[in-house]
Amino acid sequence: MGTVWRASDELLGRSVAVKELHVGDGTQSAGALREARTVAQIKHPHVVVVHDVVEQDGHPYIVMELVEGSSLADRLAADGPLDHGETARTGLALLGALSAAHARGVLHRDIKPANVLMEAGTGRVVLTDFGIARLAGSTTISETGAFIGSPEYTSPERMQGAAAGPASDLWSLGVLLCAALTGESPFHRDSLGGVLHAVVSAEIRPPAQAGPLLPLIQGLLERDPERRLGAAEAERLLSAYVTTGAVPLLDRPLGPNPTAGTATEAPTTPHPPGYSPTERVGRPGDRAPGPAGKFRPSVRLGLLAALVVAAVAGGVSAASLLGDRTDGRAQEPARSATASPATASPTPASPATASPATDKAVAQSPAASPPAPGSAASAKPVPPGYRTVTDVQGFSLAVPKGFQRTTDDQRVFYVSEDGAIRIGIKVKPSAPGGPLAAMRLSDAEGPATNPGFRDHSVVATTHNGLPAALWEFTWDGFTRAEGARHTFDLCWDENGLLHDVWVSAPVSRLAEARSHFDAALDSFVPGGS
C-alpha cells in the first residue's frame, strides 16, 4: 500500500515517518487524501499520530509520528508468544484505538501483528497503517480488483464480499489475540484456498493457550457479525482481566445479540440428590443451521468472489484454489468405539490422534427410520461432574460441567474451558444409504478438509438398536503448538433424521475424550422424544 520513510521535519526539528501511498490516477489520489485526512482526526494514545497530509508531484504522503520500537510481529518472531496479561493489555489498547476510529466512521480493515507497534522504553501499543482504512460500509475489493487486507485476519463477511462494519475489525482483533498467544493466526494454512476455507466454513476452535481469555476470543470469533461480541462487552472483559486477573461471565454465549440466549438453570425442576439440574441452552430465536452439506448461498458466492479477486491480484488460478473444496462441505470429527452399552461396536478405536469437526453432506430424503423401542428411555443417569443440557434444537445430553455452548450455523458444540475438547452435535434429514454412506463420504473427503488426515476408519454398527456408523480419524490439528487431534464420531438414523455426535480432542487427552464421548452417547435424547 505504500513506502514508509524515516524523515526529518526541518521546521520543527523532529524525526517523523513519511508514508508515500501507492495509488493510481488522480481520482484515487484524491480519495486517498480524503481518507488520510479523516484518519488524521482520530486522536487516541494508541493510534499513530498523523501530523500532516500532503501531495507532491501527484503523489500523496502521510506525515506521522515516528514510533521507535518493533512491531508485534517482530516481537512474536524474536521472543515467542505473549502471556495472558500482556495479551489482554495489548487487546485493551487496540480496542480503545478501534473504538475511537469507529466513532468517526473509520474502519481499519487490516489489523494484524505487523500493524501493531510496541514502543521501546514505554511499552506503548500503537495501531498504525490506516493506509487501507475505509469509511464504514465499503467492501473488501478495491476499485482495481485487489484484495484489501490480510486473508488470515479478514472476517468471514468480508470474505463473502459483504460490506464491512465495525464488527469486522473486532473479528480481526480476536484473530490477533490468538496470534499473540500462540505466535500465529488460527487460520494459517499452506494455501490461499485453505485460508479462505478456514475463515469462511471450517470449524473454529480457539487455541488451548487462550486459557482464561477463551470466552472473549470465542465471542470475537463468532462468524455471524450480529452475534459477535461487541466493543463495550469486549472492553469489560479485557479491563476485568487486566485489573483482577479473571474474566467475568458473559451475559450471553456469543456476541451482543439478545436472542443468542444464555445457559440458564431450571431451578423449578426437581432433581435427585447428587444430580445436576437440567439446563436449557439457547433460545428459540437462535438461528437454525443452513442447508445440509453446503455453504449458504451468500457464503459460497462470497468465497468464489474472494478466490477470483485473489487470482486477479496474485496471478493464480481460481479453479485450482477451488479444487481444495469444490462442494463447500466440512468434515466432522470422528467418534470412539466405546459407545453406550446398547451400542454394538465390534471394531476397536483407531490409534490416538485427532481431527477437527467438519460438516458431512447429507442429502434430504423423505424416508424415515422406525423409532427404536425405548430409545429415549435408554439414557443413563448423569455421571458425576456432568450436567444435563436441553438444547434449543430439542435434543438433550450430558456434558461436563464448565463446557460452554457455541454454534457455527450448522452444528452445536459444547467446548471445554480451555478450548481443547469439543463435543459436537448435528441433526440432519436422513440420507440415501443411511449413516454408513454419510460417514464414508466424509471419510473420503478427509484428506481435503483435515491436514495430515490419517489413521481413519469407518465401521457399521448400531446405536440403541438403530443403524449407525462409527468414524475415527487423526489429523495434524489446528496449531503446531497443540499437535495432532483425534475424533470419535457416531452417526445413526432415528425417526427420519441422521443424528451425529462426536468428540474431538488432542491425542494427549484421548482417555478424557472417550469418557465424554461415552457420556454424551449414553445420555443423548433426540428432540421430540
**Residues known to be catalytic:** 110
Task: Give the CA dihedral 403, 407, 413, 419, nearest 10 degrees.
Answer: -60
What is the CB neighbour count within 10 angstroms for residue 222? 27
Measure the CA–CA gap between 529 and 276, rounded to whole angstroms.
21
CB 222 within 8 A of CB 199: no
Q: How far apart are the first and last CA of the chain?
A: 59
Q: Kindly report the backbone phi and psi dihedral angles of residue 101, in degrees, each rounded to the nearest multiple of 5, phi listed first.
A: -70, -45
The number of angstroms, rounded, from the C-alpha of 288 to the middle of its chain's C-alpha atoms is 18
According to DSSP, the β-strands at 14-21 and 59-65 are antiparallel
C-alpha of 279 from chain center: 25
Total residue length of the chain: 529
Residues ≥6 apart with Cβ < 8 Å to 79:
none
Is residue 456 within a helix (H) or strand (E), and if so which, with residue range?
Answer: strand 454-463
User: Is the CA virtual torsion 402, 406, 411, 417 positive or negative?
Assistant: negative
Asked whether the beta carbons of 355 and 487 are under 8 A apart, the reply is yes
Contact present, 347 and 336 (Cβ < 8 Å):
no
Q: How far is it, in rounded angstroms, from Cα 337 to Cα 339? A: 6
Tell me the backbone φ, ψ of residue 427, rounded to 5 degrees.
-125, 125
Looking up cell 428432540 gives 527
CB within 8 Å of 103: residues ≥ 6 apart:
none
What is the separation of C-alpha 176 from the centre of its chain, rounded to a whole number of angstroms?
12
Backbone angles phi, psi at 254, to 5 degrees: -145, 125
Between CA 64 and CA 49 the distance in angstroms is 6
The candidate with the shortest Cα–Cα distance to 207, out of 182, 172, 239, is: 182
Residues 6+ apart with CB under 8 A from 423: 397, 399, 403, 413, 414, 415, 501, 502, 503, 516, 517, 520
